[in-house]
Amino acid sequence: MNPDSPQLITYVDRLGGTVTGIRDLLATRLSGAFGGVHLLPYFTPFDGADAGFDPVDHASIDPRLGTWDDVRALSETHTVMSDLIVNHVSADSAAFADVRRRGDASPFAPMFLTLGSVFPGGVTEADLTRIYRPRPGLPFTAMVLGDRLRLVWTTFTSEQIDIDLRTDAAWEYLTEVIDALVAGGTSMLRLDAVGYTGKEAGTSCFMTAATELYTQRILQLAHDRGAQVLLEIHGHHTQQIAIAQTVDYVYDFALPPLVLHALHARDARPLERWLEIRPANSITVLDTHDGIGIIDVGVSDLAPGEPGLLEPEQIDALVEAIHDASGGTSRQATGAAASNLDLYQVNCTFYDALGRDDRRYALARLLQIMTPGIPQVYYVGLLAGENDMELLKATGVGRDVNRHHYTPDEIDAALARSVVGLQLDALRLRATHPAFTGAFSHDLRGTHGELRWDAADASVTLGFDLGDASFQLTATDGSATSTWSHARLVED
């Protein structure tokens, strides 16, 4: 496979059921399409308050999903990416439970952040309003620690307790987790929520100078153990460009809204500008387990004076276009309409965000696959999944509309669809065709565009028209040429 071959993003329980089930799918129905897999949190427990991002034991695999031997077996055939949850631990973890019982007498007390530990001299309104948080309100929860009522720092939810990376205890914990993940077969670490780790008085407490120091320390720990690091940061596009120079990989979170804008507004100019300046060491996505990011293409208080990739009115139009395309279901799952809300995301499957239009959806995926970087494809997106309104109703969590639990029969039915088959064939091409080891070029004018890869006597070219979502992909290797287009898609 090519060095930058595609990777699958999936929850273990919601697609294959177990780690072994994921391995079997990759070896059979999905064979040749993926060189790697990002296993979303499979730690103990995988089904906590935040779908595994609040593990009680981050260094163990939930036995309902498998064993470390199963993960190591998967790593023999595929690159395995796992989450290193840097910012917080579960409120039910053994360490924090001890702090709740014993307060400052607990040896783990220094590991956890409180309002007072960041602002020992007291806090002002200006200090509090300066703190950046992805959700409404202040990032504190009142809790009794020992015999004292404290304001504990909880950036995301009251079940996720922020840790203090200024302390030895925090680094002993993170090192233990890294050791467990790498020993278990992980060779790529995704740093979850690392941007929130650098809490410092007088700052926004997001992407501070301390954050960079912590990131570099984790990077060194990973490299010492033979692993690479991917940063998960939502923010202004100039931040991504700058951060990319200091780590192994960053997400291209600007790509999804720019592709949606291109397909809804029939306007490729913002996408073309981004292709000129985006970092090369990117992981590309259209959809993930979270919502569709908007902040990544807009203006930001953290980058004053810097325009976004889209104008504010273009972003407003895009959000409304997504809500209209989804028949209003995304509106029910986004913002104040649902709990666990994020201010900078629209909760919707990418398929519904394009009105379940197979041609536009297939073109969106081809645009991603042709863009330089490592393409990651979310399991719901791979199967062209629709918003799961029943799951949203059951949980009240907006992001659950894009976290469907697939049965074996549902997987079979999805794989029989032409839009899914086209995606898989395109992913297999991306994984193996020699042109993708060469040079990338692009030419976007009006509604028409062309993306191209060339290496020696091999080439892959995608020509398309945003007006009617027509496209043609031509792949040449020596004297062999294959061509396929939107005509492959049939009504399912």
Catalytic positions, written as ranges: 192, 232
* DSSP code, position 105: G
CA 401/CA 290 separation, integer angstroms: 10
Q: How far apart are the first and last CA of the chain?
A: 31
Beta carbons within 10 angstroms of residue 394's beta carbon: 10
215 alpha carbon, distance to own chain's centre: 18
- The contacts of residue 298 (CB under 8 Å, 6+ apart) are 236, 308, 309, 310, 312, 315
CA angle 327, 290, 19 (to 5 degrees): 115
CA 133/CA 206 separation, integer angstroms: 8
Q: Which two tokens stand for residue 463?
A: 């020509």
3-state secondary structure of 219: helix
CA 335/CA 374 separation, integer angstroms: 30
Cα–Cα separations (whole angstroms), residue 324 to 129, 288, 329, 331, 354: 34, 21, 9, 9, 9
Over 237-254, what HEC string results?
A: HHHHHHHHCCCCEEEECC
Cis omega before residue 45 (within 30°)? yes
3-state secondary structure of 464: strand
* Sheet strands (E) in 86-163: 88-90, 140-145, 148-153, 160-162
Beta carbons within 10 angstroms of residue 390's beta carbon: 11
CA 166/CA 432 separation, integer angstroms: 45
Q: Which residue in 14, 4, 70, 6 sits closest to 32, CA to CA?
A: 6
CA 152/CA 154 separation, integer angstroms: 6
CA 246/CA 214 separation, integer angstroms: 12
